[in-house]
Chain A
């Protein structure tokens, strides 16, 4: 089994140390600027066009930089941010319900189970209000009250109503806002856009990120692009589990290739399992569908009290139902954070009280809300979600309770970045879900959109100048990277007897089983024994039809699965080394008397940043200190 070395500690040297509410403005003041005349001489590569990448590309171009941008989809408008449903948090306090930047900061640090950096989270809360202003100005059609002012709703893990939303399609509307801003810059000639193009490696010259090697997915052409800085906005790695709520094309190749070139990977074990997804139905299932967490505002989660109760839900009387979240967590009820709701759901199903054909499901029931609020209000709030559910499950949620079960949804881990969002490779910046910052060991609902846009619109465009001001201009020299990419593709193009998908499914089952909602030393060791074997088998037996000089989905998938097979090992190793439980990382050996995650602050209050090694990775710890929010056992009961 793989082992690891422990290296020197690392730290974030960019965040100022004064009072937390001044740190961001201080950093912006300290950061060097690039004069407008010099900006047009500087080129920045942005990979990805989701909320983070789209926002960054547009904003950097508005500032006068020359931007070259890539996405794997056929249009920048299709990045997976588009599928986010519920909403985006902002500390506007429009409801006058006691919200503030301070409270959003506190909720996020606590929700993340004290495994994020205070400076970063405070800045995120601070910027949240500007994001809403920006999006409204772009024409994002947020939900409104009859007076014409913005409406909000509540979301899991908090007691205020700070989530702005556009029906159940908030991600779509925010992304279209960013896409339109980007389109304006493409038309102005300041952004050169390359759709259907995949980044396959990072070019590092003299220790600095200076470009990327990409493959044109239509004709297979491999080429190199160089720039003064590279920004990765390529999303998370939830698809390592094969079945997740991520889009089919979402993958880890860009961040994994950068990791192999020297960018540290932080907290790879921190994955979020979302409690409300449509349960699996069969073996050919290609992905899982999320049902927005906002449904938990009005839906009540329950299972029958009796094990294996065969009656249809409507025939089970009230007193024979167990509304287990309300019972276990009376203060937050159905609105506990995602990790807690997911684990509670898993536990009642493991007890044998799950519902549906597989027994892996619980009811999410709207009968009470429909009685209380009436059908039209429920339709207005959740109409499109109910319709989506009915299409997939062929059941009408207005009359029959939905069946839900947790599924992999988001990864809090990602490439390590400092306060400037710069990785351990100078000139390589990482934004959005692709980095590890801000969410600690568990992300609160409606915070991903907030973070992606904060990074893309406001943080990166302010911090990247500091690097560019001193960066040496690109020297175009000969580089081996492109040749290595070609060699790897040649290795993948072979006629074996197993498809990339079949390896991916096996890897996904392995991770779900051993590195999923709860983890033990024994199960993780098992996975760590099996993954290298599976990887060897992959290179031995993989079959990829066709050639490299054409649109070839099999080849694309094979390359991504090969990277997942490496990343999965690091995920399990990180999960094994972190012997505490925290947030979404639940080690069965470390739990409280009532089964909640038990942190071990004395030994694990750090970010685990992994350095790639040919043989073994090296662990670098970044100590976390808390000056403002004092770590306590998280309690939502």
Chain B
């Protein structure tokens, strides 16, 4: 198929960016979207033009490194990550707009690459269980009901791609934060630090400049791992409940 790509080009955070059009021909429908960009980049580089910078690594939907806004939608038209999107989702002659994540907390580094380190800072503010190496009890000493383990896993599936922030009109990271809180709150091992964890992470996201959550739910429509909106309600409960009530 032949396509027109309208791609965001921006040399660095300090310089203004703009959309630039590229024509691309003879793209097979079995190519992934990122492989299509590889083909374009190979062409640009061969002509001594600067290739388009974009992030990707595992290319199987698990590392969370890739993330493009395609025709206005984070990760594009199919449910899943950008790397799992294939050209069969598009039609011949289509014009496709490609932009980076748009959020004040994710400054553009170059072209389609943004800085998502604020997400790491949220985890550093409490998104863990303090269990120094060597101090663990026997693994089966503490049974975890299967349903709890499953619910913990559903939340733990978050890949930290940041699509939720990019989709949110408030630029809130609440789904990301809630996913980590819910993962650990569903497990008995996570109980001792449950309240401090929830408060620590929420305070961190406020300090980092992420917006507040007004339960719009745009985050869940783009989340490639289907993190449920209910995790946010649970996080709110953990934050609002007085510290001494357990």
Q: Which residues in A have some Cβ–Cβ distance to B below 8 Å? A: 55, 58-59, 62, 73-78, 80, 82-83, 92, 94, 130, 132-139, 141-150, 166-167, 169, 172-173, 176, 179-181, 183-184, 186-187, 195, 218, 247-249, 281-282, 284-287, 289-290, 388, 391-392, 394, 457-458, 461, 495, 497-499, 501-502, 543, 545-546, 550-551, 553-554
Contacts and interface: CB of A to CB of B under 8 A. Distances in A.
A150 B49 contact: no
Contacts of B136: 130, 133-134, 136-137
B18 to A, nearest CB: 18
Given A139-B129, A183-B123, A388-B61, A286 B113 contact: no
A289 B187 CA distance: 32
Contacts of A148: 143-146, 149
Contact of B45 (A55, A138, A141, A545): A545
B160 A75 contact: yes
Q: Which 8 A-B pairs have the closest CB atoms?
A: A148-B143, A180-B128, A137-B136, A137-B131, A133-B136, A141-B153, A187-B124, A141-B152
A284 B119 CA distance: 33
B46 A139 contact: no
A10 B246 CA distance: 60
Nearest to B39: A284
Interface stretch (B80-88, B163-171, B213-221, B234-242): B80-88
Contacts of A132: 139
Interface in B192-236: none
A519 B148 CA distance: 50
Contacts of B44: 545
Which of B88, B134, B157 is packed against the most chain A CB atoms within 10 Å? B134
B117 interface: yes
25 contacts: A74-B117, A77-B120, A78-B63, A135-B139, A139-B131, A139-B187, A139-B190, A141-B152, A141-B187, A167-B153, A169-B157, A172-B157, A180-B129, A181-B133, A184-B124, A195-B120, A247-B58, A247-B59, A282-B31, A286-B32, A286-B34, A458-B134, A461-B133, A543-B46, A551-B53
Given A141-B152, A150-B139, A184 B128 contact: yes
Interface string B87-121: 01000000000000000000001100101110110
Given A281-B30, A394-B86, A136 B48 contact: no
B156 interface: yes
Interface in B147-198: 149-150, 152-153, 156-157, 159-160, 183-184, 186-187, 189-190
B62 A83 contact: yes
A166 B153 contact: yes
A499 B129 contact: no
B75 to A, nearest CB: 12
A15 to B, nearest CB: 22
A73 B131 contact: no
Contacts of A394: 30, 86, 88
Interface string B71-82: 000000010100
B12 interface: yes
Contacts of B42: 499, 501-502
B86 A392 contact: yes
Contacts of B157: 169, 172
Contacts of B145: 144, 148
Given A144-B144, A497-B46, A545-B51, A183 B88 contact: no
Interface of B: 11-12, 28, 30-32, 34-35, 38-39, 42, 44-46, 48-51, 53, 55-65, 78, 80, 84, 86, 88, 109-110, 113, 115-117, 119-120, 123-125, 127-140, 142-146, 149-150, 152-153, 156-157, 159-160, 183-184, 186-187, 189-190
Contact of B57 (A94, A184, A249, A388): A249
Contacts of A167: 153
A291 to B, nearest CB: 10
Contacts of A142: 149
Nearest to A461: B133
B139 A92 contact: yes
B161 to A, nearest CB: 10
B50 to A, nearest CB: 5
A106 to B, nearest CB: 23
A545 B135 CA distance: 51
Which of B46, B56, B133, B144 is packed against the most chain A CB atoms within 10 Å? B133
A141 B149 contact: yes
Contacts of B61: 388, 391
A545 B49 contact: yes
Given A284-B31, A461-B133, A139 B189 contact: yes
Given A78-B64, A133-B138, A141 B183 contact: yes
Contacts of B159: 172
A522 B62 CA distance: 40
Contact of B115 (A74, A77, A179): A74
Given A74-B117, A132-B139, A146 B39 contact: no
B128 A183 contact: yes
B63 A80 contact: yes
B106 to A, nearest CB: 10
A147 B136 CA distance: 21
A218 B124 contact: no
Contacts of B113: 551
B45 A499 contact: yes
A384 to B, nearest CB: 9
Nearest to A84: B62
A132 B144 CA distance: 14
B190 A543 contact: no
A180 B133 CA distance: 12
Which of B60, B109, B160, B189 is packed against the most chain A CB atoms within 10 Å? B60
A166 B30 CA distance: 30
Contact of B65 (A74, A169, A287): A74
A281 B31 CA distance: 9
Contact of A82 (B58, B110, B139): B58
B51 A77 contact: no
A4 B118 CA distance: 51
Which of B45, B50, B80, B116 is packed against the most chain A CB atoms within 10 Å? B45
Given A74-B65, A134-B133, A144-B146, A543 B119 contact: no
A492 B140 CA distance: 54
Contacts of A285: 35
B199 to A, nearest CB: 14
B92 to A, nearest CB: 17
B178 to A, nearest CB: 16
Contacts of B64: 75, 77-78
Contacts of B55: 74
Contact of B156 (A176, A249, A281): A176
Contact of A73 (B65, B124, B189): B65
Contact of B46 (A58, A392, A499): A499
A457 B124 CA distance: 20
Nearest to A283: B28
